[in-house]
Amino acid sequence: MTAMPAFRPTKNLLAALMFIVFALFGLWLARDLEGGGASDMGPGYFPRIVCIVLIALGGTLAVIDLMRQGEPPEGWAWKPMLLVTTSAIAFAFLLRPIGLVGTIAATTVLASAAGTLLRPLALALLVAVLIAVNVGIFVVALKMPIPLWPSVL
């Protein structure tokens, strides 16, 4: 472990940084867009105004926060964040290849691992109910063209 850093950024400072990073990224992405004049705005005019305003707001927030020391951010819970994210990504990538039934099962199990894990039987029951409900709503009632099973079968 490294020694405690002498400077701990506060919530507001990090928030200010976030706004500024988003705005700078926006400016960079809009770099090739034609600005045009105030009477004849091109596609790049308004985005630039928005980004500049956002930078100004972020800057003000940072300055105010440096003047009166704010709260440091609370800890970051990696496990729920990563597992929830993974299960949503799994949904996106599994749906077309393996179909709705398998995808819901995988998503549910992965998501469930993010919190207090259910007992196997309870989990199986939850998966079954979710599959039944979603197939009922989307495939039977709304007639969406979602594959149910892997296409290889």
Residue numbers of the site for other proteins (CB under 8 A)?
11-12, 14-15, 18-19, 22-23, 26, 29-30, 33-34, 37-47, 50-51, 53-54, 57-58, 60-61, 64, 73-74, 76-77, 80-81, 84-85, 87-89, 91-93, 95-96, 100, 104, 107-108, 111-112, 114-118, 122, 126, 130, 134, 137-138, 142, 144-146
Closest distance between other proteins and the C-beta of residue 33, in Å? 6
Give 89-92 contacts, CB < 8 A, sequence gap 24+. none
Q: How far is the CB of 107 from other proteins (least distance, A)?
A: 6
Least distance (Å) between residue 67 CB and other proteins: 13
Contact 46, 34 (CB under 8 A): no
Count helices and strands (H / E) in the chain: 4, 0
Comparison of 3 and 142: residue with beta carbon closer to other proteins: 142
Q: Which residues of 33-63 are buried (b: 16+ CB within 10 A; e: fewer)?
A: eeeeeeeeeeebbebbeebeebbeebeebbe
Look up residue 45 and give its two tokens.
Answer: 């005019």
Q: Closer to other proteins at the Cβ: 3 or 39?
A: 39
Kindly list the distances between the CA atom of residue 45 and the CA atoms of 25, 26, 134, in Å, as whole numbers in the listed order. 16, 12, 45
Minimum distance from residue 51 beta carbon to other proteins (Å): 7
Nearest CB to other proteins, comparing residues 3 and 66: 66
